[in-house]
Amino acid sequence: MPRTIIDTFSVTRLDILDPEGVADETLLPPLSREEILRLYELLILSRAFDTRALNLQREGRIGTYPSILGQEAAQVGSAFALEKSDWIFPSFRETGMHVAMGYPLSLLFRYWAGDERGLVCPDGLNILPVCVSVGTHLPHAVGAAMAARYRGDPVAMVAYFGDGATSKGDFHEAFNMAGVFRLPVIFICQNNQWAISVPRSRQTAAATIAQKAVAYGFEGIQVDGNDVFAVYSATRQALERARDGGGPTFIECFTYRLSHHTTADDAGRYRSSDEVAEWKKRDPLERLRRFLEKRGDWDEEYQRELDRKIRETIDQAVREAESAAPPERSDIFLSVFERCTLRQTSQLEVKADADA
């Protein structure tokens, strides 16, 4: 006789800081006053970079750019929990992560201006190049986690992606392998409700995206992605689990893309202004500012000085990016594979003869 196997499950939702800046003190992570202020400053810096990048694109000084407006807490909060030794596999909308990890801003501007040398990661950071093709980097993160396991290297792999990636086969293959082998990898989905013009409701019929982890045998948690404390806490716990041999974790950051998908998109064609206005009330920067103000750690003078310093930092990064020598034409060959193929080598030789 056929049997029905029923296995109930639940998905935890973590909220710590509400839109009015009121925190559940019992859930606040163990961060010092200085660390919380640093979190706020990184959020402001991330938004300032984003704003300048959008302006530069409109001026024709950089190419197509994907804004992170509204998603800063999901990126900064998670990155703030990482160690420099951890390995990060980003998609194309993780500027806040780069900022929080200390990636040179001038290199980011160079990359978005079309200079691939901007993704040559500096020593001391383990951030792989941006992955524009949706979801294809997730199996890479899992493979790296397996390599770390073989080597006995106590690091974690962290893969960032959007809700659209959960509809790709790469997502399911990566999750399956990570679950089977209990690998030290953390999957962070920025569920910003839209995969270009496709709403989240057309991505999956599941009540949450986080619950997809259950089918693969590991924990999934949904957090308020506009709550920097919730994102930090969930990431920190996931890192501890990964380093202690507890296997992978899937974190769904429930957030919203306030801007267009990229500067080549017009979001007004597929979503309402009322929806955007409602999400603006949940601004991650404003809620942390209100939290700091309630504690006496924020005032107008502090904000003016912070804005001045950040403006100078951004200005300097733009100057450095735009004063860099242009890349060599041969660079297009040299960073594709570890070693040039025979075909690439022959093309380089032809180019050298032509230049001579």
Given 261, 282, 287, 289, which residue is catalytic?
Answer: 261
In a domain, 72, yes or no: yes
Domain shared by 284 and 342, yes or no: no
Concerning whether 261 is annotated as a catalytic residue, the answer is yes
Domain shared by 181 and 219, yes or no: yes
Residue 351 confidence class, pLDDT cut points 50, 70, 90: low
In a domain, 111, yes or no: yes
pLDDT tens sequence across 18-53 = 999 999 999 999 999 999 999 999 999 999 999 999
In a domain, 4, yes or no: no
Closest C-alpha among 298, 329, 260, 317 to residue 54 = 260
Domain shared by 188 and 299, yes or no: yes
Q: By residue range, what is the domain housing residue 339?
A: 328-356
In a domain, 160, yes or no: yes
Domain shared by 354 and 218, yes or no: no
In a domain, 278, yes or no: yes
Given 98, 236, 257, 290, which residue is catalytic?
Answer: 257
Domain shared by 332 and 319, yes or no: no
Other beta carbons within 10 angstroms of residue 301's beta carbon come to 8
Residue 349 confidence class, pLDDT cut points 50, 70, 90: confident
In a domain, 6, yes or no: no
Tell me the CATH number at 33.
Answer: 3.40.50.970
In a domain, 254, yes or no: yes
- pLDDT score recorded for residue 348: 85
Average pLDDT, the chain: 95
pLDDT tens sequence across 151-203 = 999 999 999 999 999 999 999 999 999 999 999 999 999 999 999 999 999 99
Residue 328 confidence class, pLDDT cut points 50, 70, 90: confident
Query: Distance between CA 216 and CA 195 in Å, rounded?
Result: 23
pLDDT tens sequence across 1-23 = 677 766 788 999 999 999 999 99
- Edge-first strand order for the sheet with 219-224 is 12-14, 219-224, 249-254, 185-191, 157-162, 87-89
110 has a pLDDT exceeding 80: yes
Longest dimension (CA), the chain: 80
Question: Which run of H or of E encompasses 169?
Answer: helix 169-181
CA distances from 195 to 89, 208, 279 (A): 19, 16, 17
Domain shared by 252 and 356, yes or no: no
pLDDT tens sequence across 130-156 = 999 999 999 999 999 999 999 999 999
Domain shared by 295 and 351, yes or no: no
Residue 330 confidence class, pLDDT cut points 50, 70, 90: confident
- pLDDT score recorded for residue 336: 77
Closest C-alpha among 259, 274, 317 to residue 61 = 317
Concerning whether 257 is annotated as a catalytic residue, the answer is yes
337 has a pLDDT exceeding 70: yes
pLDDT tens sequence across 230-279 = 999 999 999 999 999 999 999 999 999 999 999 999 999 999 999 999 99
Domain shared by 208 and 353, yes or no: no
Residue 356 confidence class, pLDDT cut points 50, 70, 90: low
Closest C-alpha among 164, 165, 169 to residue 198 = 164
Provide the Cα torsion 83, 48, 137, 128; round to 10°.
-50
329 has a pLDDT exceeding 90: no
Given 58, 270, 311, 319, which residue is catalytic?
Answer: 270
Take residue 355 and report the two structure tokens written for it: 């230049």
- pLDDT score recorded for residue 353: 67
Considering its fold, how many domains does the chain have in total?
2
Concerning whether 343 is annotated as a catalytic residue, the answer is no
Domain shared by 298 and 350, yes or no: no
Domain shared by 95 and 229, yes or no: yes
CA distances from 244 to 130, 172, 174 (A): 28, 24, 20
In a domain, 2, yes or no: no
Q: Between 334 and 191, whose confidence is greater?
A: 191
350 has a pLDDT exceeding 80: no
Domain shared by 319 and 346, yes or no: no
Domain shared by 306 and 294, yes or no: yes
352 has a pLDDT exceeding 80: no
Q: DSSP characters for 119-160?
A: GSPPTT--BPPP--STTTTHHHHHHHHHHHHHHT----EEEE
